[in-house]
């Protein structure tokens, strides 16, 4: 379990409310991942009769090498971060933090060299994929929700957590399309907020704005979560759809369209938008405005994937 910061806990001048808020300095999903990583490290230490807090640098290195037999380099690196965060929260900061020792850094460098850091991404849902999926939706209320979710998820380049967090109050319909307020997201931990625009599509069959309008009319909802789960009797619930449901919905229609559902996930929408935009010669900064990326590194990776055939030297050779 992630340890609460002792410097905060022992500060008698802070109210309990203030301590609770300071403990939320990191996103809930990040804390959840850290807790799981710390539990794994603690269990390993218990099995090997080693101390987990404070841990010796050698203990951490031995744990990482056992972990690296089956885990990816990026997973191992995240475990190091979790171990470091727990030690920092317990008051072992700076050089006193064993996870920041030169021995642990050297071990991580060796693991990265051996295993590499390449991550196989999920299949992107491209613009042309939307046309294929459009033929898979029925006219029932569940299909109307799913169509709106998939089309809006692509058009807004939403993370799945952002997509399910949209409230009807966050939507503004204009003559040109739909404006969506994102109060907070993974890349906006301080909650400054951002607004993105989704214009009407010339082809109504893949138009996210029309799909959202049709969903709202059929569901007859006017406030609260835009995307909600259903009961078994297809009665609409008042709660917010879970982010895991996004992946399941995408897999459902990918299978109906004849694709392998195992290669698709919630990230397929966001990745698909960026890759499709690159294929249509949209520049990196314009893509970043819609995806809300702060770094060009990942966007350029999408651009490279989008142009993998367009800029292939064989195309010029064949034309000759």
Among the options 79, 267, 271, 292, which is catalytic?
Answer: 267
Q: Is the Cα torsion angle 292, 294, 299, 301 positive or negative in sign? A: negative
Q: What is the gyration radius of the CA atoms in the chain, in angstroms?
A: 23
Question: What would the two tokens of residue 295 be?
Answer: 């770094």
Among the options 34, 63, 253, 302, which is catalytic?
Answer: 302
Among the options 79, 145, 270, 292, which is catalytic?
Answer: 270
186 in active site: yes
92 in active site: no
Secondary structure of residue 276 in the 3-state scheme: helix
Among the options 159, 160, 210, 251, which is catalytic?
Answer: 159
Concatenate the DSSP letters of all residues of 159-207 into one string: -HHHHHH-BGGGEEE-SSEEEEEE--BTTBTT---EEEEEEPPSSGGG-
Among the options 26, 186, 237, 294, which is catalytic?
Answer: 186
Q: Tell me the CA distances in angstroms from 251 to 3, 94, 122, one per residue in order.
A: 37, 45, 11
271 in active site: no
267 in active site: yes
293 in active site: yes
Contact between 154 and 272 (Cβ < 8 Å): yes
Q: What's the burial of 229, exposed, middle or buried (CB within 10 Å: 0-12/13-18/19+)?
A: middle
Residues marked as catalytic: 159, 186, 267, 270, 293, 302
């Amino acid at each position: 379990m992630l340890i609460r910061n002792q410097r905060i806990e022992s500060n008698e001048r802070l109210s309990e409310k203030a301590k609770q808020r300071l403990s939320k300095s990191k996103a809930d999903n990040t804390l959840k991942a850290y807790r799981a990583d710390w539990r794994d490290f603690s269990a390993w230490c218990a099995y090997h009769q080693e101390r987990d807090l404070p841990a010796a640098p050698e203990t951490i290195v031995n744990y990482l090498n056992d972990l690296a037999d089956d885990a990816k380099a990026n997973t191992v690196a995240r475990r190091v971060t979790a171990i470091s965060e727990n030690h920092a929260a317990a008051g072992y900061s700076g050089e006193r933090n064993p996870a920041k020792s030169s021995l642990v850094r050297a071990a991580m460098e060796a693991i990265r060299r051996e295993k590499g850091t390449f991550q196989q991404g999920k299949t992107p849902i491209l613009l042309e994929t939307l046309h294929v999926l459009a033929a898979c939706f029925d006219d029932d209320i569940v299909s109307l929700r799913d169509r709106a979710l998939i089309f809006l998820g692509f058009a807004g380049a939403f993370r799945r957590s952002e997509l399910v967090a949209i409230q009807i109050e966050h939507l503004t319909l204009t003559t040109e399309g739909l404006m969506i307020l994102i109060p907070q997201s993974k890349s906006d931990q301080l909650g400054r907020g951002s607004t993105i625009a989704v214009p009407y599509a010339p082809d109504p069959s893949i138009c996210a704005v029309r799909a959202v309008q049709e969903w709202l009319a059929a569901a007859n909802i006017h406030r609260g979560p835009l995307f909600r789960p259903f009961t078994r009797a297809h009665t609409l619930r008042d709660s917010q759809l879970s982010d895991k449901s996004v992946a399941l919905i995408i897999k459902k229609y990918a299978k109906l369209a004849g694709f392998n559902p195992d290669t698709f996930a919630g990230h397929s929408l966001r990745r698909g938008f960026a890759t499709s935009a690159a294929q249509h010669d949209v520049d990196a900064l314009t893509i970043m405005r819609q995806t809300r990326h702060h770094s060009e590194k990942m966007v350029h990776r999408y651009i490279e994937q989008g142009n993998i055939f367009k800029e292939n030297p064989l195309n010029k050779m064949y034309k000759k």
